């Protein structure tokens, strides 16, 4: 006698390997952002030890983004040709190496310390280049559309969790052991997880922990499960031609401009934020390490909430466009409260405003979900790379622009206005430039 197995029973046996993959992405992205932040905690001591001016410090903090931006498109090309696993492994291994060797810059003559620091940060940017396009690509392969907002928000929120976890640790390490140990500590952690990538990260159809029920669920829900299976072959056509297609599309261009504006807030947080608390608010390095946790927690909570809100709107029948735009616009509007810090001398109120601003930024940081929603399958890595190129151009501009403002005004007030104006820019981009959000249709070239 044939027995029908209820659908509920099949669903109950469905594996959840996608959440293991997302956990790995979250951990690696936490390490990624902690490595970027090492210099901001060590900067006051490095500047003192090696006599670096405020402008040299600004250029050093921007160095990462100069190379990071330049390798986004090549990094996306590598992902589309060789798959996420191989590229991610080598990316993490090399960025951890360059983080670690920064500790030994003092072994060289003081006259070349600045160019060496700049060079090490440049190489860190080169190595980290493929990381976020890889995250987007992996999420597109492992998550259906209705879960993609939360999945993208979770790995993106690791930038705040990095501050929550590592800011106090870095503050303690810098004040008790010295600034060099911040770099060696983070380099060692990264090398450990490079090995983990080899063991855990696989394409959905290649993963030993995934059963057919989960694969069916992913594929029926819009996940690109074949994206990385067994590594991908060469993408036919001209890379330059595909880039031109992306840049000539109004939707994609609006998304890219919006990400530039949003990432300006991120790079204030990664570079000048601890120095703002030390110089403008009179806090010690150790205190900053703990106080900085609060805005970071706000950003982390906002990031998770933004993904939950977006996916909930989808389930309630809202269009994909509305489900993505509502949290982005609302979050960026809340982020403009950072300007209010200029109008109070009470430090605890400043921390409240900063926490609210980064909470809003977290809610609005859904750009990577939008990339997963819009990227053509054939050039998912390239599309993410171009998106990150625009976004992290802000990593070049922001540290230098704020250094210039400080040099001209000797005040952080203008810097906070600069950050607030970029939040408004993101709102205008998504409201006025980005039309309907949908999968980009690629023309073969």
- Which percentage of the chain shows pLDDT scores above 70? 93
Range in 127-131, 159-163, 379-383 with the lowest mean pLDDT: 379-383
Greatest mean pLDDT among 18-22, 216-220, 274-278 = 18-22
92-96, 348-352, 369-373, 433-437: least confident range: 369-373
pLDDT tens readout for residues 2-22: 444 344 344 458 888 889 989
- Give the number of other Cβ atoms within 10 Å of residue 287's Cβ: 15
pLDDT at 6: 41
* Whole-angstrom distance, CA of residue 32 vs CA of residue 9: 40
Model confidence over 36-49: pLDDT tens digits? 878 877 777 887 77
**Number of neighbouring beta carbons within 10 Å of residue 91:** 26
C-alpha distances in Å from residue 287, one per residue of 135, 168, 416? 33, 8, 21
C-alpha span between 256 and 250 (Å, rounded): 10
Say if residues 42 and 183 touch (Cβ distance below 8 Å). yes
* pLDDT at residue 236, as a whole number: 56
Q: What does the pLDDT look like over 99-156, one tens digit per residue?
A: 988 888 877 777 787 888 888 888 988 898 888 788 888 888 888 888 887 888 888 7
231: confidence class by pLDDT, cuts 50, 70, 90: very low
Place of tokens 């309630």: 316
**pLDDT for 179 beyond 90:** no
Q: What is the pLDDT of residue 431?
A: 94
pLDDT of residue 229: 57
pLDDT bucket at 360, cuts 50 / 70 / 90:
very high
List Cα–Cα distances, 357 to 114, 266, 295, 325, in angstroms: 33, 11, 8, 18
Are 279 and 402 in contact, with CB atoms under 8 Å apart? Answer: no
pLDDT of amino acid 90: 92
254-268, 391-405, 411-425, range with the lowest pLDDT: 391-405
182 vs 378, which has greater pLDDT?
182
Q: Please state the domain extents for the chain.
A: 16-433
- pLDDT-based confidence at residue 386 (cuts at 50, 70, 90): confident
Query: Looking at residue 70, what is its pLDDT?
Result: 84
d(CA 227, CA 138): 8
Q: Which two tokens stand for residue 132?
A: 């976020």
Percent of the chain with pLDDT strictly greater than 90: 20
**Which one is predicted more confidently, 74 or 339?**
339
Q: Give the pLDDT confidence score for residue 232 in this predicted structure.
A: 46
Q: How many Cβ atoms from other residues are within 10 Å of residue 163's Cβ?
A: 29
Assigned CATH class of 16-433: mainly alpha
Rounded to an integer, what distance in angstroms lies between the CA atom of residue 372 and that of residue 137? Answer: 7
**Per-residue model confidence (pLDDT) at position 337:** 95
What's the distance, CA 219 to chain centroid? 26
pLDDT in tens, 48-101: 778 877 778 777 777 887 888 888 778 777 887 888 888 899 999 998 998 988
In terms of pLDDT, which residue wins out, 444 or 12? 444
Of 5-9, 58-62, 162-166, 224-228, minimum mean pLDDT range = 5-9
Q: What is the pTM of this model?
A: 0.70
Contact (CB, 8 A) for 161 and 301 = no
Cα separation values, 344 from 149, 211, 281, Å: 36, 57, 11
**Has residue 418 got a pLDDT over 50?**
yes
- What does the DSSP 8-state code read for residue 70? H
Q: What are the pLDDT digits (tens) for 300-326? A: 889 889 988 998 998 898 999 999 999
Q: How confident is the model at residue 445 (pLDDT cuts 50, 70, 90)?
A: low
> What is the overall mean pLDDT for the chain?
83
What is residue 205's DSSP assignment?
A: G
């Amino acid at each position: 006698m044939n027995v029908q197995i209820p659908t509920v029973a099949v669903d109950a046996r469905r594996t959840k390997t996608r959440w293991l993959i997302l956990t790995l992405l979250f951990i690696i992205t936490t390490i990624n952002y902690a490595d970027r932040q090492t210099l901001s905690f060590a900067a006051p001591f490095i500047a003192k030890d090696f006599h670096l001016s405020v402008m040299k410090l600004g250029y050093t903090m921007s160095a990462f983004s100069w190379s990071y931006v330049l390798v986004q498109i090549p990094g996306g090309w590598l992902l589309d040709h060789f798959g996420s696993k191989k590229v991610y492994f080598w990316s993490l291994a090399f960025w951890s190496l360059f983080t670690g060797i920064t500790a030994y810059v003092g072994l060289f003559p003081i006259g070349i310390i600045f160019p060496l620091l700049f060079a090490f940060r440049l190489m860190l940017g080169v190595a980290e280049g493929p990381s976020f396009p890889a995250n987007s690509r992996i999420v597109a392969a492992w998550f259906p559309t209705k879960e993609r907002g939360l999945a993208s928000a979770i790995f993106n929120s690791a930038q705040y969790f990095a501050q929550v976890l590592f800011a106090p640790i870095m503050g303690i390490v810098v004040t008790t052991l010295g600034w060099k140990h911040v770099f060696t500590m983070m380099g060692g952690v990264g090398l450990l997880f490079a090995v983990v990538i080899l063991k855990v990260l696989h394409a959905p159809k290649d993963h030993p922990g995934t059963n057919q029920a989960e694969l069916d669920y992913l594929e029926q829900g819009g996940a690109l499960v074949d994206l990385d299976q067994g590594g991908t072959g060469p993408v036919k056509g001209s890379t330059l031609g595909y880039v031109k297609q992306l840049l000539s599309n109004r939707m994609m261009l609006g998304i890219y401009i919006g990400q530039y504006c949003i990432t300006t807030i991120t790079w204030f947080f990664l570079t000048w934020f601890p120095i703002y608390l030390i110089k403008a608010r009179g806090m010690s390095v150790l205190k900053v390490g703990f106080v900085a946790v609060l805005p970071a927690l706000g950003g982390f909570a906002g990031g998770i909430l933004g993904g939950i809100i977006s996916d909930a709107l989808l389930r309630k029948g809202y269009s994909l466009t509305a489900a993505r735009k509502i949290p982005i616009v609302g979050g960026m509007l809340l982020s403009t409260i950072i300007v209010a810090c200029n109008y109070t001398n009470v430090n605890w109120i400043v921390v409240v405003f900063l926490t609210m601003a980064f909470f809003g930024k977290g809610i609005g940081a859904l750009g990577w979900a939008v990339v997963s929603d819009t990227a053509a399958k054939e050039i998912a890595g390239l599309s993410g790379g171009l998106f990150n190129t625009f976004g992290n151009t802000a990593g070049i501009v922001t540290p230098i622009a704020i250094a210039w403002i400080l040099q001209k005004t000797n005040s952080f007030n203008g810097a906070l206005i600069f950050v607030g104006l970029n939040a408004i820019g993101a709102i205008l981009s998504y409201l006025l430039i980005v039309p309907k959000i949908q999968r980009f249709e690629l023309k073969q070239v």
